[in-house]
Structures are given as C-alpha cells and as structure tokens.
Amino acid sequence: MLTVMERCFGERYTSTVSDGGNVFKKKVIIAAVAATALFGTAVTATAADNPGLVPKKVWDSKADKIKIGLVAPMTGIFAVLGISQRNSLQVVADQINAAGGIGGAKIELVVRDGGLDPVASANYAKELAGDSSINMVAGPSISSYYQGAATYYEAAKKLNCQPAVAALDFTDYKYAFRSQDYYKDTLTALMTVLQKRSIKKFGMIYESGPTGTDFDAYYTAQATKYGLTYLGWEKITSTATSHNAELQKFIDKGAEAVNISNNAYGAYTAKAAKELKYKGILMGGSGAQNIAFHETGGDDFAGTLMAAPNYQWPIRDKSLWQPGYKAHTEAVVKANGFNTGVKSGATSPNGTAIAADCLYAYAVAANKVRSLDATKVRDAMEKLDIPAKMTPSGVRIHPGPEHNLYQADGINVYEWRKDAKGWYTIEVNGVSRQAAACPEAGWIAKTATGSPLVCAKVSGKLVYRAG
C-alpha cells in the first residue's frame, strides 16, 4: 500500500502527456538537424508518406473489426496516464471509423486496467498478446512492467506501441515501437540550450527510480561535452511535502539550472523555487506541461524550459497549430474537455497525442501494405515517414530500425512565459534548425540564435525572411 503512497506524488514512468508545439510554425519542415547527425539516427526518408489527417479506406481487409489493446493504470494514482491515452486512442479510432475504418474494418479499443500491479499487468499483457483478434497493443505503461510484457509480445509476434516507456532500447524488440521522445534526445536538447545560454552548473531533483537513474547516468557522462558541470542528483520520494531542502542544496552549490521531475513531483520543485526565490532556470521534459507546476510555481514558473515533442496547446493563435495536431486536439477537447488550473489559469487538454500516433501510424502502415499481418505492418511502420503536419501529435513520424516513432528532430525546447492573457510558450531550440533550402512558402526554420525564419516567395524565388 505504501508504495502507492510513495507514488502518490511521483513515480516512475516518464512523461505522461506530451504533444508538442511550436509557436511560430505555420507548416513545419524540419530540415537539417544537428542532433540527428550527433546521434547518427538520421533516417533517410524515401518519399514522404501522405496519408492525410485521417487515413481513409483504401482497400478491403475483409475483417469486420480491428482491435487495439491498451494496458495501463486506469485506476489509482496513475489513472491519468491510462485515461488520457485511452481518450486520444478513442478519438483517432472514431475518426478512422467514420472515414471507413482500416480496410473497411472498424477499430475497437480493448482497455485493461493494470493499475500499479505487475501481476495484473502481466496477466492482461498476456491476454492481449495471446488473443489473435487483437491487432496491436499499447502498454503496460510502466517501464519495468513493460520489460516483462515485451517477452510475451515478442513470443506472440504481437505488434505493440509504447507511448510511455522513455527508457529501454527498443532495438531489442522486433514488434515494439516507442511513441515517445527518447530520453537521451530530450536531455541533449536541454543541455544544448544551457550551453547556448552560457550556463556552467546544473543539477537534478528527481524521484528515485529507473528514469532518474537513466537521466543521472546520461548527464554524468555527457555534461562536460556541453561545457557544463553536472552537480548531481538530489533524490526525492513521496513523504516529501516540500523540496526546499533539495533546492537549497543546489542554490548553495551555485546551480544556475535544475532539472525537475516529469511527474507531479516536479510541482514541489516549482513551489520550492517560488518559495526560495530561485534565480536559476528550471527545466524539464514534457511533464512540465502539467498545469500542477504552474499552480504551485505561480508566476515564478515563467522561464522554465520544457523539452518535449510538439506541444502547441499554449499557442493562442490556433491557425499556427499543425493541422493534424489541431484536428486531434480539438477532437480530444470536444470529447473529453480540458483542465484549467484554478490559480494559474494554465490549461491542458485531456488526452495525449503521442498515444494517438500509435494508432495513426498503424493505420497508415496497414493501408500501405494492405495487410493486417503483424510482420508486414511492422515492416511498413519501420519505413514510415509521415510529415509533422499530418500526425495527431504534430511530430514527424519516421521510426527507422530503432523503432522510435520520433527522432531527435522531433524534440523542441520551449520556454514558459506569462503575460496579461495568461501562459504561453516560445520556442528556444538549442538545436539549430536552419534549413538548407527553403522548399515551400510558409515553412518555418530557425536562425542559429533561435529566431524564427519563414519561407516566403519573393519575386518568384523561395527565400527565408525573419518571422
């Protein structure tokens, strides 16, 4: 029981709700990306796919149903994780069904509540793995449970897509895809921004657990490459009702930035920063879109860095949103509403678009090979390259052999700001997004200093102009 408590405020999966966003983009093309080269994960996309916002019926599968399984905590401390995944999956399923289904087959979700119970999660993973009528599974969403379930999936050749497993190397699994930012990409993006801002020392306040362990190891190994001194990891647990002590230690050591937890725990660090009037930078992953952080951090939360896949929700001018992201998010809000922080007025939608990408990518791949066979769809998914403007998350999907739906170029770094109208973000990508060429009017890129460039047609020629 205690562990539950232990997880009340914190826990051990990484980012829950992540979409992604870019303030200035109209249509985004991510052209040359430094980070891609850095990790050698560049996928040479052949011809980009063009499935549209909702994949239409283009073939006859002769099946009447396509079942998508989801094992996630639907109850208890982490219920928000499972429920937002289900919300987004359901929206995509409804949209595809309305457009004729996948090869005429209607999509049906099969949801199982794995709670925080490794045994129940294993049972349900086995159920969904063993049921031949299930076409793809998402979850279990807790990394360590997933590691156990992966064996079942591999043995049953069951296609699965993981929207909440940040760690683990997916090249080990033949049938698994990750629809989340890979933590190394996220941390790299953050360190790049720190370097650009001439920051020298930073630390991390994170709950003890596998995610914190991975982060800590990566920072320890990589910080010096960015001219940074990593001051270490202050571990936190559930009994903490304040992070003042942890933050004070970093203040004493002269930390100019602190990496905060992606989970509700981060809210305590935000609160500590407010109480201690911390002058440095808070930074986090997609968890920093959690409005609890704004609630506790108050106006002092402004300036916080957030490295996440596309998250355009805080952009007030919706016409700037990625079309796919916009369509998905609006449908999610229509079906499930959005949250509002009573204190800060910050908002967030009740869904997680990265989970939606799982089903969207599956539909596109199945349509492409005109088959529901797991191996064939898997091969097709590997080769997908769907532009960011179409996907529900607004992030380009191009998994490649590593089976990460998003590559390093899918990570944006945002900075939270607040004005009279409320909270919004600006993009502060450290990774240079300067496009080699200006391919189409309206496309966006960045200068080396991060200012936006808009591709425009000037006297018949495509050139970049300041955005």
Terminal CA-CA length for the chain:
54
Using CB under 8 A as the binding criterion, the count of chain residues that bind other proteins stands at 79
47 binds other proteins (CB under 8 A): no
CB of 42 to other proteins, least distance (A): 30
- What the block records as the tokens of 133 is 């009528």
The residue range among 1-9, 181-189, 299-307, 322-330 that interacts with other proteins, by the rule CB under 8 A, is: 1-9
Q: Report the distance separating Cα 427 and Cα 315, nearest Å.
A: 11
44 or 241, CB closer to other proteins? 241
For other proteins, the closer CB: 202 or 443: 202
Nearer to other proteins, 113 or 330 (CB): 113
The binder of other proteins chosen from 92, 159, 176, 240 (CB under 8 A): 240
Which of 153, 170, 202, 268 touches other proteins (CB under 8 A)? 268
Residue with tokens 């045994």: 119
Q: Is 401 left (phi over 0), alpha (psi -120 to 50) or beta?
A: alpha
Structure tokens given for 382: 């590997």
CB of 252 to other proteins, least distance (A): 10
How would you class 462 by CB atoms within 10 Å of its CB: exposed for 0-12, middle for 13-18, buried for 19 or more?
Answer: middle
DSSP type of residue 105? B
Q: Sketch the per residue contact string, 16 through 45, with other proteins: x for CB under 8 A, - otherwise.
A: ------------------------------
CA–CA separation, 85 and 351 (whole Å):
6
User: Tokens in use for 344?
Assistant: 């800060």
Which DSSP helix (H) or strand (E) runs through 329? Answer: helix 323-336
Contact between 345 and other proteins per CB under 8 A: no
Task: Give the closest residue to 188 by CA, choosing from 402, 314, 37, 302.
Answer: 37
Q: Is 257 in the site for other proteins (CB under 8 A)?
A: no
Cβ-proximal residues to 409 (8 Å cutoff; 6+ apart), any chain: 30, 33, 35, 36, 396, 431
Token look-up 């997609």 returns 286
Interface pick for other proteins out of 112, 396, 398, 403 (rule CB under 8 A): 112
Find the binder of other proteins among 48, 98, 119, 221 (CB under 8 A): 119
CA dist., res. 18 & res. 183, Å (int):
13
Q: Closer to other proteins at the Cβ: 241 or 459?
A: 241
Q: Which stretch binds other proteins (CB under 8 A): 58-66, 192-200, 291-299, 450-458?
A: 291-299
Total residues belonging to the chain: 467
Q: Does 68 bind other proteins (CB under 8 A)?
A: no
Burial class (CB in 10 A: 0-12, 13-18, 19+), 383: middle
> What is the x/- site pattern for other proteins, positions 142-181, by CB under 8 A?
-xxx-xx--xx---x-------------------------
Neighbour tally for 417: CB within 10 Å: 16
Contact track, other proteins, 197-236, x by CB under 8 A = ----------xxxx--x--------------------xxx
Task: Using the rule CB under 8 A, give the single segment among 18-26, 30-38, 288-296, 430-438 that binds other proteins.
Answer: 288-296
What is the dihedral angle through the alpha carbons of 67, 71, 76, 77, rounded to the nearest 10 degrees? -120
Among the listed residues 204, 222, 349, 175, the one whose alpha carbon sits nearest the alpha carbon of residue 282: 204
Alpha-carbon distance of 209 to 194, in angstroms, equals: 25
Can residue 295 be called a binding residue for other proteins (CB under 8 A)?
Answer: yes
Q: Which is nearer to other proteins, 146 or 443 (CB)?
A: 146
Q: Kindly state whether residue 69 participates in binding other proteins, applying the rule CB under 8 A.
A: no
Question: Which residue in 29, 33, 91, 122 binds other proteins (CB under 8 A)?
Answer: 122
Report the distance separating Cα 170 and Cα 173, nearest Å.
5
Instruction: Return the residue of 14, 18, 84, 304 that touches other proteins, per CB under 8 A.
Output: 84
Nearer to other proteins, 61 or 344 (CB): 344
CA dihedral over 18, 24, 25, 31, signed as positive or negative: negative
**347 part of the interface to other proteins, by CB under 8 A:** no
Report if residue 76 touches other proteins, rule: CB under 8 A. yes
- Site of tokens 């916002």: 53
Span near other proteins by CB under 8 A; candidates 60-68, 263-271, 399-407, 410-418: 263-271
- Decide whether 65 or 343 has the Cβ nearer to other proteins: 343
Q: List the one residue out of 192, 179, 128 whose CA is nearest residue 448.
A: 192
* Minimal distance, residue 351 CB to other proteins, in Å: 10
Q: Which stretch binds other proteins (CB under 8 A): 5-13, 355-363, 369-377, 390-398?
A: 5-13
Least separation in angstroms between CB 354 and other proteins:
16
